Structure 1
Amino acid sequence: MKAIELEKAYNPKDFEERIYSEWETKGYFKPASDEKSPVHCHCAECSGTYTVVIPPPNVTGVLHMGHGLNNTLQDIVVRYHRMKGDNTLWVTGTDHAGIATQNVVERQLKKEGKSRNDLGREAFLERTWAVKEDHHNTIVKQQRKLGNSTDWERERFTMDEGLSKAVREVFVTLYERGLIYKGQYLVNWCPRCGTALADDEVDHTDTAGAMYHIWYEFADGPAPDGSTRIEIATTRPETLLGDTAVAVNPTDERYKDIVGKKLKLPLTDRIIPVIADSYVDKEFGTGMVKITPAHDPNDWQVGQRNNLEVINILNPDGTLNENCPEKYRGLTCPKARGLIIEDLKELGLFKEEEKITHSVGHCYRCNTVVEPYLSYQWFVKMKPLAEKALKAWKDGEIVFYPKKWENTYTHWMENIRDWCISRQLWWGHRIPVWYCKDCGEMIVAREDPEKCPKCGASAEKLEQDPDVLDTWFSSWLWPFSTLGWPEKTSDLQTFFPTSALVTAYDIIFFWVSRMIMASLEFTGKVPFRDIYIHGLVRDKQGRKMSKTLGNGMDPLEIIDMYGADALKFTLGFMCAQGQDILIDKESFKLGSRFCNKVWNASRYLLGNLDGRSLVPVTDSDLTELDKWIYGCLNRAVKTVRESLESYRYNDAASAIMEYFWNEFCDWYVEATKINFKNGDDAEKDRQASVLLNLLEENLRLLHPYLPFVTEEIYSKLPVAEIVENRKKAGKNKILSNSEYCGMLINAPFPEVSASREDSDVEKRFDVLKDLIGKVRALRTECGLDPASKINIAVLIEKGSAAEVCREKVDMIQLLAGVAQTEFVEAKPAAAIGTVGTGFEAFILVDETINREQLLVRFQKALETEEGWVRRSESKLNGSFAQHAPAELVAEERAKMEESRRKIEKLRSYIESL
């Protein structure tokens, strides 16, 4: 046959887009059971089903490196299971991201000098849909560039018709079950976004602030001890305008006589009581706490227990309202705080200011300080749902990888609070509740009502609740709503429950836990069994990537530099369970170098087929070298399969790289050059056939991590002829499918076969590798030119595995750069030696080596190491050992011992010369 040519240089831009288009056009992203799939007969009945739903990115965002990691990890396992023969579906889609998307549009309007109220709700939503479409196209382009093998015809959006129907069904059903209610409660309020937030949408960060000490005077005369005032400390003086009590602990002996007395509330004309409540920590501060029920969650609880008045002092935009003295109205909290402190000082009621750092809640979307705010909102009762989700975990229905995240999951579930689901936005799922203007009836319905069921008023008299649902209210239905629920679709029947969820740890609360709760409530099943929680992508300094720090990376920029495969392999290689990934642009050279290695090795093998004929190769035709590499391949396949089944991505990537680069390329391929050099035509044909068999299987092993480059190389192989020869040789089980399916994306993943491993062969080749490696290392230590040929002598321990060296002299000489090998019974004179298992190997210092030059080199190296030892001894015998940290002392001692070992070795070399 003719040589098969690959381009000289690996250039992913030549084929990545073309290959992706071919995969998609031919339907390879579809599950095997789909009638449009080219592999619908791919043993779908006897295989398992593997389903993954992608965590939907915000539709107005762009994919960052965190998305790149998340998408990469899913693509790897999806490609693996597809090749395993599983009926595999990867569902993609986007999230409408209520607050984030509305913020994008409102920022655009602000630049135009407009607000959403200027446009009106309908026009604003039209504009938002247009923005959504534009950003959606960008995200889809990015996902295709990454190589996502998702079924694009099944793509979903959290506000598409089907998911909107699912949202209504869930809301109404939960309301009917008594699990959704509306009430006036204290909620987290973002003044910037103008909406309520759930507890887990508030980011608490340490912030510089102050503790302000203020005097409150008694209104009903001095206390029994003669005091006329008490001291209160607060971080937010402006909230005193909403105080309705001061509380002390009922067991605090210091204040038992003032419980029930009245206080003048500073800057107001109101009188408030001193009450006793166990909430107060009598050991903290003065043991007296001002109670502002409308603006602190704990104070709200105290107020409910003691029937205190609730006074809201804030407008929705975070400014002070009409319940405050007129001079403070309309001011923001920080401005009001400054003015209130000035006024307190003038009245002699301000004692002091104490600088502190304290935790302050910020909006997770816009980073504005969140205000506790009293308002009417819709809530979901979470405890009944959480109990089912906790039981599912205890029963082993869901498994976390790594297991440490079980603690986070259980802690949140056991301490869960009701979920505020209403948002004061226009973009999102409108709450399916209507109010009759005539009779006041509240209607909760799956379909828009045509009339009031109570008084019969027409639809025009019905006003829908203006709020929308929290974005996560649609996201928590994602695993089953994307498959058609509440309809009983074939996809829902075939692919639900899904198999795995791959996501970052920062949304365990927002999304993972809620999906489990919703799925159990509405389908009676967990939404997935495996939950793989990966770390975050950070820069080399360990900082989270952000626009503010300017340390973010665009996945498309990396793909443009190195190709999608380089990005995918690097991220997979560096993704160890339970750890964040620290990278910069240089990191992706690792993946690029490996892609180049695969390309160049394949190019060499295919370029040397000229004049060769491919022949069937049976087990009896394999040489010991062939059996060794098949054993290496088998171990790699086993490791990769086990690693991907348990989401140990880095272990699988390491096994792939070690096998292909080191064992296959650097040892096996190099060693086969002997057969091409010395063998006859029959042997050359046999060796070429074995190499192509291995290359084809190697590409199947590498494909999940390097889909593009492996597919491009695979397309050049005479695969049909390789498969036919395997069948003739009785090895058709090497390809687990009886039919060849065309493209590598659907070719079967290599199987593990115990018959491929031979422990005796492995031991013999371990010795060969050890000897060759030690001779190479010795050559380097001596500073000998790698291209020069040296002469060696080998002393073999009789009966040991090292006897193989006598049989494989050609291989030793080829791979170690040796001209002549002599087997000896004792150490030769003028030789430099190294020891291995069952052998000693010596470089002969003969006419091929400049003895004087070598002596000078060893003597110089000896003096250097002796100098290091003297310096270390001086440090370890001095004050360093007494005052330096223990780990530094241990490090210095280890350096000294290493230098002593080198000294011993160098002296032996010099003595030998």
Structure 2
Amino acid sequence: MVEQGRSTMPKAYDPKQAEQKWYEFWFKGGFFQAGKEGSEEKEPFSIVIPPPNVTGNLHIGHALNMTLQDILIRWKRMEGYDTLWMSGMDHAGIATQSKVEARLREEGISRHDLGREKFLEKVWEWKEHYAQIIREQWYKMGLSLDYSRERFTMDEGLSRAVRKVFVTLYEKGLIYRGQYIINWDPAARTALSDIEVIHKEVQGHLYHMNYPLKDGSGFIRVATTRPETMLGDTGVAVHPDDDRYKGLVGQSVVLPVVGREIPIVADEHVDPEFGSGAVKITPAHDPNDFEIGGRHDLPQVLVMDETGTMNENAGPYRGLDRFECREKIVKDLQDAGVLTEIEEHVHSVGHSERSGAVVEPYLSTQWFVAMKPLAKQAIRDTKSGEGVRFVPERFEKIYLHWIENVRDWCISRQLWWGHRIPAWYCADCGETIVRIEDPESCPRCGGGKLKQDEDVLDTWFSSGLWPFSTLGWPQKTNDLDRYYPTDVLVTGYDIIYFWVARMIFTALEFTGEKPFRDVLITGLVRDAEGRKMSKSLGNGVDPMEVIDQYGADAMRFMLSTGYTPGNDQRFRWERVEAARHFANKIWNASRFALMHLEETGAETLSLEAPLSTADRWILHRLNETVETVTESLNRYDFGEAGQALYRFIWDELCDWYIEFAKRPLYGEDEEAKRVTRSVLVYVLDQSLRLLHPFMPYITEEIWQHLPVDGESITVSQWPQKNPAFEATQAVQEMRVLIETIRAVRNIRAEMEISPKKQVELIIRADGSVLSAYRNNESAIRRLCGADRFQAGSDLARPDKATTAVVTGAEIFIPLEGLIDIGQTITRLQDELKKLDKEVERVEKKLANRGFVSKAPAHIVEEEKQKGAEYRQKRDKVKNRLKELQGQDR
């Protein structure tokens, strides 16, 4: 630590210099490590990081999520907990493989050219490269992660946990292999999880067709958005209570083009109110049709291959791309008189998040997890109030609805990068062997010709074990015993189903406990116009760019103070600029304080000393701020905590207390100087501690210059409310004084009275308000620029004076000789005309329906605010004119 009270702070704060210096200091000091010697008696507090994918750089959404986690960890560390923030990364199967394959394509080769082993070497190289980039970004953000425990979803320990879970669920009959409809990416040639499918509204068509009855007595009309799939139709379904079709159930229609006879079946899934009330059934290419087909034993005819090309079951369309086939079959159906109408139709179409290809519902042999049995305990816990607590609470209903309606999960992926499915097939007898350890021979026939399943597991399978696998499970480790279950998970609302629910399911199944106490849900960081950030829009924000321009503290404070639980926020550069101004404000206030400590140091704060009204007020307000910030953090309201700190530090400590402190600090009374210095240093120290979780770098930089004990603010004690600081009378007095000073300064600005000119101040008040003025006369004189001052209960309003009303008092400033009254009246009249025009302009604009309906909401709101401000200014000018013209008497 620097020599206390003896090191002069530079004139300006340099984020780059401070950030590098203090992060190295924290890292080398081991301040982020959990379970250090002496921590055994502390209560543990743990968070596991939502592991970022090793696919590239972190984005601004990561910055928000991680900043909030870091605030919690730094706060709890200062509260005296043994804190663990588990760091780590996710292998992100399809996302990472897609990136590496794209790079190989640039070199003119594919993964198949390399072979599985060589390709995986390339992926591991990619992983190491981007893992280091992510770590460097964590450093720049100031994250206090425990790097000594960093995990990766494919490291040895986690891979063993994955195998243990897979084998256990398989042996319980909860993992099985079968043919079902899944999301298929024809470009990447793999199954996809639901989260990897992006649904986009697409302008397409609804094709209406007449399927002729076999007996020639008529037809049934059906409709589809994908006419190429009709080649795989194996039935037509109607609702059993639909009177239009009761006589047709059990009969057959002839499938156009193909000529295949397919039955008419009755199924309650059919909506009789939609379209004709009859639907074509394509069990191999539609999930709902698959279910209906299964209930009626309809054949499953697959008409495409894995690339989206029509196969041998497509007859004359074999070899065509699925979309080429659509065009040709539409023409053929029109020529045959079967296609009766093509209707414009906007509908939601799934696209692969990675390849961009249109996702195909596709019948495929895959591995699945039976989810309903795993969901039972989570449902019971949630309904009984014993489950994971969601913040905000509204997300619990969303979570519960999903887990009550959960469907089996397709966990196999046709990739090379990932956890290989631990299943082997015997070439001699066809036995399927599922083991934790690689088998050497078939347990059924003893044969040695075993081939491991080529597929890998969905990324979410391994990340679903993250809260306990990272702590050593299935081994019984000290970390698992001490830090599990974890305390809180911070994550986005978009992965409640895909990650949060699965973590809860597997944790309850394999540890018997919920994985975390609370789930804090964050929203998205959108652009200034409220749009989702994306590469296509080019509106993304690189957090490293923000840090390079403004410093990590400014970015962190902007993100955290803009946060409200579960809601999206907009990124605006002006808010980052405001956060940097806040940092500079703290820096300058601290330099002022230290300037008065360089020679003398600071004495310990003593409440026995003669404290001024301002001293007692700032200590009281510190108490209230400690309480507000702590309570806000306890309910995860980072925005309210940050705003409370901003108001206290900027408005009250920097703008008001330091102004009041200048009189004693620059005066001749040594005792008053000593007391003021002790209060100033104490409040500054406590304020920096409160602010540290939000802005770690600048608070450490300043704190290291203060005459206080401790190795680092990172491990200093969190401020506590002190009952001895309660001073309601001082608060009331300061409210009066601050209102008065503001009122006088406003009058000076409105009347254009030079700051160098001294004014006469006459105040009419009584009781405690009058006492406040008399007790603080010297401060009022100095801060109002008043060489003459009167305060009393029976003072008359002087002639040619301007007036202000504050709580419990009237303020009069005589204007005779202070300004040219005639000239001021003329100026105010001109100003009134301008304000009248501005008010009229805004009102016309807001009365224009075209503007209000077409302009962005924030632009309309800005105009409304302008109108309110102009009207307020106009009212003030009118009042001043009345005073000057004598119309108020």
TM-score by length of 1: 0.91
Aligned length: 872
114-123 vs 73-82, greater mean Cα deviation: 114-123
Q: Structure 1 505/874 Cα, relative in aligned 2: closer, same or farther at 3 Å?
A: closer
Partner of 1:596: 584
Is the 1:831–1:912 Cα contact (8 Å) retained in structure 2?
Answer: no
**2:256 matched to 1:288?**
no
CA distance in 1, matches of 2:715, 2:848: 67
Is the 1:859–1:910 Cα contact (8 Å) retained in structure 2?
Answer: no
Q: Structure 1 830/524 Cα, relative in aligned 2: closer, same or farther at 3 Å?
A: same
Partner of 1:28: 31
Deviation at 1:330? 2.2
Deviation at 1:93? 0.6
**2:408 matched to 1:439?**
no
Partner of 1:806: 774
Deviation at 1:344? 1.6
Partner of 1:770: 739
Residue 186 of structure 1 aligns to a residue whose secondary structure is strand
RMSD of aligned alpha carbons: 2.5
Is the 2:604–2:678 Cα contact (8 Å) retained in structure 1?
Answer: yes
Deviation at 1:7? 1.1
Deviation at 1:681? 2.8
**2:90 matched to 1:95?**
yes
Residue 244 of structure 2 aligns to a residue whose secondary structure is helix
Deviation at 1:25? 0.8
494-503 vs 172-181, greater mean Cα deviation: 172-181
Is the 2:524–2:569 Cα contact (8 Å) retained in structure 1?
Answer: yes
CA distance in 1, matches of 2:490, 2:275: 46
CA distance in 1, matches of 2:158, 2:642: 37
Q: Structure 1 899/709 Cα, relative in aligned 2: closer, same or farther at 3 Å?
A: closer
Partner of 1:731: none
Partner of 1:730: none
Deviation at 1:447? 0.9
**2:532 matched to 1:544?**
yes
CA distance in 1, matches of 2:593, 2:791: 34
Is the 1:865–1:902 Cα contact (8 Å) retained in structure 2?
Answer: no
Partner of 2:810: 840
Alignment partner of 1:744 out of 695, 709, 713: 713
495-504 vs 102-111, greater mean Cα deviation: 102-111
Alignment partner of 1:523 out of 503, 511, 522: 511
CA distance in 1, matches of 2:390, 2:494: 15
Q: Structure 1 687/199 Cα, relative in aligned 2: closer, same or farther at 3 Å?
A: closer
Deviation at 1:21? 0.8
Is the 2:821–2:884 Cα contact (8 Å) retained in structure 1?
Answer: no
Aligned ranges for residues 227-306 of structure 1 at < 5 Å? 227=218, 229-306=219-296
Residue 83 of structure 2 aligns to a residue whose secondary structure is strand
Residue 767 of structure 2 aligns to a residue whose secondary structure is coil
Partner of 2:857: none
Q: Structure 1 498/339 Cα, relative in aligned 2: closer, same or farther at 3 Å?
A: same
Partner of 1:779: 748
Deviation at 1:879? 12
Q: Structure 1 107/867 Cα, relative in aligned 2: closer, same or farther at 3 Å?
A: closer
Residue 255 of structure 1 aligns to a residue whose secondary structure is coil
Partner of 1:789: 758
Partner of 2:698: 709
400-409 vs 65-74, greater mean Cα deviation: 400-409
Partner of 1:726: none
Deviation at 1:660? 0.7
Residue 126 of structure 1 aligns to a residue whose secondary structure is helix
Q: Deviations over 1:857-906 (max 9, x none)?
A: 23334455667789999999x999xx999x99999997998588447523
Q: Structure 1 559/199 Cα, relative in aligned 2: closer, same or farther at 3 Å?
A: closer
CA distance in 1, matches of 2:347, 2:866: 42
Residue 314 of structure 2 aligns to a residue whose secondary structure is coil
Deviation at 1:545? 0.8
Q: Structure 1 446/3 Cα, relative in aligned 2: closer, same or farther at 3 Å?
A: closer
Partner of 1:466: 454
Q: Structure 1 659/282 Cα, relative in aligned 2: closer, same or farther at 3 Å?
A: same
Partner of 2:788: 820
**2:136 matched to 1:148?**
no
Q: Deviations over 1:654-687 (max 9, x none)?
A: 0111111111111111111110222323332332
Alignment partner of 1:454 out of 444, 447, 458: 444
Q: Deviations over 1:158-192 (max 9, x none)?
A: 00001001101111111122211111111111112
The AA in structure 2 aligned to 1:27 is G
Deviation at 1:116? 1.4
Is the 2:189–2:414 Cα contact (8 Å) retained in structure 1?
Answer: yes
CA distance in 1, matches of 2:89, 2:878: 65
Alignment partner of 1:507 out of 495, 509, 513: 495
The AA in structure 2 aligned to 1:13 is K
Aligned ranges for residues 470-869 of structure 1 at < 5 Å? 470-621=458-609, 622-720=611-709, 740=710, 742-796=711-765, 798-824=766-792, 825-864=795-834
Deviation at 1:266? 1.5
CA distance in 2, matches of 1:652, 1:879: 40
CA distance in 1, matches of 2:386, 2:565: 20
The AA in structure 2 aligned to 1:805 is Y
232-241 vs 774-783, greater mean Cα deviation: 774-783
Deviation at 1:30? 0.9
Residue 247 of structure 2 aligns to a residue whose secondary structure is coil
Residue 811 of structure 2 aligns to a residue whose secondary structure is strand
Deviation at 1:317? 1.1
Alignment partner of 1:909 out of 873, 883, 888: 883
Residue 447 of structure 2 aligns to a residue whose secondary structure is coil
**2:16 matched to 1:7?**
no
**2:347 matched to 1:358?**
yes
Q: Structure 1 110/868 Cα, relative in aligned 2: closer, same or farther at 3 Å?
A: closer
422-431 vs 448-457, greater mean Cα deviation: 448-457
CA distance in 2, matches of 1:474, 1:879: 57
CA distance in 1, matches of 2:720, 2:103: 55
896-905 vs 285-294, greater mean Cα deviation: 896-905
Is the 1:441–1:454 Cα contact (8 Å) retained in structure 2?
Answer: yes
Is the 2:832–2:878 Cα contact (8 Å) retained in structure 1?
Answer: no
CA distance in 2, matches of 1:368, 1:862: 63
389-398 vs 404-413, greater mean Cα deviation: 389-398
- Report % sequence identity: 48
CA distance in 1, matches of 2:322, 2:696: 56
Deviation at 1:690? 2.5
Is the 2:613–2:733 Cα contact (8 Å) retained in structure 1?
Answer: no
Deviation at 1:305? 1.2
CA distance in 1, matches of 2:853, 2:353: 44
Residue 306 of structure 2 aligns to a residue whose secondary structure is coil
Is the 1:209–1:357 Cα contact (8 Å) retained in structure 2?
Answer: yes
Is the 1:872–1:896 Cα contact (8 Å) retained in structure 2?
Answer: no
Residue 620 of structure 1 aligns to a residue whose secondary structure is coil
CA distance in 1, matches of 2:587, 2:436: 58
Residue 52 of structure 1 aligns to a residue whose secondary structure is strand
The AA in structure 2 aligned to 1:217 is P
The AA in structure 1 aligned to 2:438 is D
Is the 1:50–1:87 Cα contact (8 Å) retained in structure 2?
Answer: yes
Q: Deviations over 1:792-829 (max 9, x none)?
A: 21111x21334211121221122233333222511111
Residue 148 of structure 2 aligns to a residue whose secondary structure is helix
Q: Deviations over 1:577-597 (max 9, x none)?
A: 232111133331021111111
CA distance in 1, matches of 2:54, 2:278: 49
**2:366 matched to 1:377?**
yes
Is the 1:538–1:545 Cα contact (8 Å) retained in structure 2?
Answer: yes
89-98 vs 254-263, greater mean Cα deviation: 254-263
Partner of 1:420: 410
Deviation at 1:393? 2.5
Deviation at 1:541? 0.7
Partner of 1:218: 213
Partner of 1:109: 104
Q: Deviations over 1:554-600 (max 9, x none)?
A: 11111100111111111111112232111133331021111111111
